[in-house]
Structure 1
Amino acid sequence: MLSEITRIAVEAGREIMIVYESAYDVEEKADGSPLTAADRNAHDLICDRLDALTPEIPLVSEESIGLDTDERLAWACLWLIDPLDGTKEFIQRNGEFTVNIA
């Protein structure tokens, strides 16, 4: 399974770099943190691929909205993802950002 997860992370990284090398808008999330198309694209790709690979394992992403705490506490295991960790650094174009899947 590790090789499949690695492929998903690399594929998400490619999607991120497509946005990185283009002009893009920066939005603001409810908590004031930045959000870009790279965040959304990587989130969608990772969620789709993980759901296809392990449909029985739920996931929590930094970009997930409205997950019920009681429901999450009942999960025996889960995927925890940050599709673009370092969005501020991504925006600064300094190369210091990662794809996190745990």
Structure 2
Amino acid sequence: MRVAQLAKAAAVSGDTVRHYTDLGLLKPRRDPHNGYQLYAAEDLKRLRFIARARRLGFSLKDVQAILARADSGAEPCAEVRELLGERLHALEAHIAECQRL
């Protein structure tokens, strides 16, 4: 898949795909004939994960840490649970503040 195809499949913009590629979150291969970046099905899975994590409030730094851990062969589950716990605590505090208003 090329950038536009990947972006459409994941319901994100092409600029988002390029940004995540620049950050190293996506690792396309280059087509030797024309130099285009080609993305595999694994990149689509990663992009969908990144988009969901971002919607849940994870920072790009958090996402990078989770994916780096997974890429190294380690299970990122404990780290994800910890980050979710922190996010839940922050959301509960935000809800309490909204209720006070």
TM-score normalised by the chain length of structure 1? 0.30
Structure whose alpha-carbon radius of gyration is higher: 2
Q: Greater share of helix residues, 1 or 2?
A: 2
Q: Greater RCO between the two (CA within 8 Å, min separation 6)?
A: 1
